[in-house]
Chain A
C-alpha cells in the first residue's frame, strides 16, 4: 500500500464515521418522532424546528455527563466493552456499497465478511455485562449472548439463499442480479427471515430482552453513563441502519431504478438517495414494530429461533436450491416461498391463539348472581 492509498483510505474511514454519526443523529430524531406519532404525542418540539436539533443537544449532554466507574467493576473489561461493540458496527461498512461505485472496498466475499464481523459485537455486550459486576448487567449480557448466537443461524441462512440466487457473495453482483425482479418478490420468505433474525441481532422490539427496561433495567448498559453509554447507543443505531441498508441491498433491489435518467456523478448521487429511501422505509417498519409489539420471554425467543426460524431457513435454502438447480422460472420460487410464509403465519396464529382467546373470560349478569343467592362459585 502506497502512502497515497493510505491517505485515501483514512479519508474514506473519516468520511464514513462522519456519515454514520450524522445518520445516527437523524435516526434518533426519526425514531422519537415516529414513535410519538404512533403514540399520539408530538415528540421533541423545543430544540430547533420540530426538535430537529434535539439529537445534538442530547449528544452534548451525554458527552458532558460524568463517566461513572462502579467500584466493583472489572476496570479494563468495563472500559473496553463499548469499543468492542462499536468497532464491529463500523467495520461492517467497509464493504457495504451505497451505489454502483460508492464503496470503500468491494470484497468478493462481502456477505461472508458481513456475517463474520456482525457477530463480533456480542462479545462487547457480554464484556459489558461481566465488567459492570452488576446482576442485571450479567443477566442481560448472557441473554444477549444466547439470543444473538441463536439468531445468527437463520440470519446467515437467509443471506445464503440470496447468494444462491445471485451466484455471488459480492454485494454489487447481488444488486445486479436483481435487475429482473427484486429478491423480495422472488423470496418473500427470505425477506421475512432476514428481517426477523436481523431484529433479533439488533436486540430491538420484540427481541429487546437483553436490555429490557422492565426486567433487567437496561441489561449490560445499566452501569454505563455519559460518553461510554453514548457509544453503545451509537453502535446500536449504526447496526439498525446496517440491517436496513442490507435489507434494501439484498431484497429490495438496492440502488437499481428501472431507468435512471442521468449518468456519471449525478447517477451515483441519485442511486445513493434511492437506496437510502429504501433503507429508511425499512427503518420506519422497524420503528413501527417497536411501537406496537410487546417483548418475548427468553425461552419463547429461543423456541421461536430454534424450532421455527431455523427449520424455516433451511426450507428456504432447499426450495431455492431446487428451483435454481432445475432452472425453473423464478415465479415458481415466489409461489413456493409465499405459500410457506402464509403457512407459517397460520401456524403462529394457531400456536398463540388456538382456542385460548377471549373465551376464557365470561360475563355473568349481576341479576343472575343475586338470584342464585350471591353464589360464590
Chain B
C-alpha cells in the first residue's frame, strides 16, 4: 500500500510518497535499489542501497593464486573486463618489478581502448533507453558487437576473457588481426558519428539532459568522483595522463572536458572519449611490431613481501587495486577501489531537486556497473 512518511524538511501538511526504484526496476542498470521520497513528481529525499550483487570478490581473491585472481577481476566490471584484468596485472607487475615486452604493452593498449569503446557504446545505448528513445540501444549494440567479435577472435571469449596475464598477455594475436582491425576501426569511426548524430543534438534530448543532475568540480572531487563523470565537471584528470601506466605516455590523444557537470556533459564526454580511443588505437596499431608477448615469469607467481597500489583509467574512472603480499603464491589481501562505487556516492548530491524522470537519467549518466559497486 501507499506509505506516507514525514521528512524533517517538509511542511506538516505535505504527504510524501515513498517509491522504491529497484532492485526490480528496468532502469537501475542491475540490482540496485534507490528509495526515493517524492512530493508529486519532485524528489524530496533519495537513499541508494547497494549490496545486492555482493559476491565477496575481494575475499575470494585471498584464496586463489595470483594467476587465478585475474578471472575474478573479469567479473568486477563486467562490461570492461580487460580494463579490470589490466588493473590487477599492473599491480602485481609493479610489486614484482617486471619489465613487460613492447608488443604485449601495445596489445594491452589496443584491447583496453577497444573495450572502452565497447563499454561507452553500451552506455550510449542504455542512456537512450533511459530517456525513452528506443533506437540508440540497437545502434550502440551493433558497434559493441563488432568489438566483441574481435575480442572473441583474439581471446576466445566475448566477455570474461582472462587474456591479460601478469607479465604480458596469454596468446599472440591471430594472423588476420591487422586486416580485421582496419575494417573494425573504420566501422567504429563511422558508427560513432552515426550514434552521435542520432541522439546528441536532438531538441528533446538536450532539453532533458542540459542542466540536470549538476555537480560542480569541487563537490565532484570531494565525493571522489572520477573518470568521465569527473571530467564532465571540468576537472582535467585522467590517470592515463596524470599518472601514465604502461606505455600511455607515448600516445597523443585528447581528454574531453565538460563545462557544466550536467547529464549532457557526462554523456558527451563519453562520446568524445570514444573518438579519442580510436586515435590511441590507431597510433598503437602503427607501432605494433612482432616480438615476445610474455616476460620471463615463473608459472606459479610468488611476488615479494610487501604492499602495492596501482591505478588505471577504466571506462568508469579511476580503478585502483591495492595488494598486500606475504610472499606466498596467494595474495594476503586485495582491495579494489571501484570507480562506480565512488561515483555512486555523488548520486544523492545530483538528485537534489530532481524529478522522478530525472532520477533515472542521472543514475544512467554516471554509468555504474553493479558488479563493480558491490564486488
Q: Is A367 part of the contact surface with B, judged by Cβ < 8 Å?
A: yes
On chain A, the number of residues with a Cβ less than 8 Å from chain B's Cβ atoms is 56
Give chain A's interface secondary structure class: helix
Q: Out of B19, B134, B208, B236, which one reaches A35, CB within 8 Å? A: B134
A-contact bits for B1-45, CB 8 A (1 contact / 0 none): 110000000000000011110000111000000000010010000
Q: Is B130 part of the contact surface with A, judged by Cβ < 8 Å?
A: yes
Cα–Cα distance between A208 and B130 once the two chains are bound (Å): 13
**CB under 8 Å from chain A, chain B span 272-321:** 272, 276
B-contact bits for A334-377, CB 8 A (1 contact / 0 none): 00000000000000110111001111111111110110001111
Q: Is A235 part of the contact surface with B, judged by Cβ < 8 Å?
A: no
Assuming the A-B contacts A136-B19, A296-B208, are A377 and B235 also in contact, with contact meaning beta carbons closer than 8 angstroms in the complex? Answer: yes
Tell whether, in the assembled complex, residue A365 and residue B135 are in contact, meaning their CB atoms are under 8 Å apart: no
* A15 / chain B contacts, CB cutoff of 8 Å: none
Tell whether, in the assembled complex, residue B135 and residue A356 are in contact, meaning their CB atoms are under 8 Å apart: no
Q: Is B114 part of the contact surface with A, judged by Cβ < 8 Å?
A: no
User: Which of B26, B142, B234 has the largest number of chain A CB atoms within 10 A?
Assistant: B26
Q: Out of A35, A39, A214, which one reaches B26, CB within 8 Å? A: A214
Q: Is B207 part of the contact surface with A, judged by Cβ < 8 Å?
A: yes
Tell whether, in the assembled complex, residue B256 and residue A362 are in contact, meaning their CB atoms are under 8 Å apart: yes
Tell whether, in the assembled complex, residue A377 and residue B204 are in contact, meaning their CB atoms are under 8 Å apart: no
* A370 / chain B contacts, CB cutoff of 8 Å: 241, 249
* B208 / chain A contacts, CB cutoff of 8 Å: 294, 296-297, 300
Tell whether, in the assembled complex, residue A353 and residue B133 are in contact, meaning their CB atoms are under 8 Å apart: no
* B135 / chain A contacts, CB cutoff of 8 Å: 35, 38-39, 291-292
Q: Is A94 part of the contact surface with B, judged by Cβ < 8 Å?
A: no
Tell whether, in the assembled complex, residue A365 and residue B217 are in contact, meaning their CB atoms are under 8 Å apart: no
* A135 / chain B contacts, CB cutoff of 8 Å: 2, 17-20
Tell whether, in the assembled complex, residue B132 and residue A208 are in contact, meaning their CB atoms are under 8 Å apart: yes
**CB under 8 Å from chain B, chain A span 31-71:** 35, 38-41
B-contact bits for A147-168, CB 8 A (1 contact / 0 none): 0000000000000000000000
Tell whether, in the assembled complex, residue A356 and residue B210 are in contact, meaning their CB atoms are under 8 Å apart: yes
A-contact bits for B44-80, CB 8 A (1 contact / 0 none): 0000000000000000000000000000000000000
Tell whether, in the assembled complex, residue A72 and residue B1 are in contact, meaning their CB atoms are under 8 Å apart: yes
Assuming the A-B contacts A292-B135, A367-B252, A377-B235, are A360 and B2 also in contact, with contact meaning beta carbons closer than 8 angstroms in the complex? Answer: no
List the one stretch of B89-97, B152-160, B171-179, B261-269 in contact with chain A: B261-269
Tell whether, in the assembled complex, residue A363 and residue B254 are in contact, meaning their CB atoms are under 8 Å apart: yes
User: Which of A35, A41, A215 has the largest number of chain B CB atoms within 10 A?
Assistant: A215
Cα–Cα distance between A4 and B304 once the two chains are bound (Å): 100
* B232 / chain A contacts, CB cutoff of 8 Å: 361
Tell whether, in the assembled complex, residue B131 and residue A358 are in contact, meaning their CB atoms are under 8 Å apart: no
Cα–Cα distance between A365 and B280 once the two chains are bound (Å): 12
Chain B: minimal CB distance from A287 (Å): 11
Q: Is B205 part of the contact surface with A, judged by Cβ < 8 Å?
A: yes
Assuming the A-B contacts A361-B257, A362-B257, are A294 and B133 also in contact, with contact meaning beta carbons closer than 8 angstroms in the complex? Answer: yes
Cα–Cα distance between A376 and B236 once the two chains are bound (Å): 5
Tell whether, in the assembled complex, residue B255 and residue A369 are in contact, meaning their CB atoms are under 8 Å apart: yes
- Beyond contacts A214-B131, A294-B208: 13 other A-B pairs, Cβ-Cβ < 8 A, are A39-B138, A133-B1, A206-B204, A293-B133, A294-B199, A296-B204, A352-B204, A360-B264, A364-B236, A364-B254, A366-B240, A369-B236, A376-B237
Interchain Cβ contacts under 8 Å between A and B, 20 examples: A135-B20, A139-B41, A209-B357, A213-B27, A214-B27, A293-B132, A298-B357, A349-B203, A360-B258, A361-B232, A361-B269, A363-B254, A363-B272, A364-B256, A365-B253, A365-B255, A366-B240, A366-B251, A366-B252, A376-B235
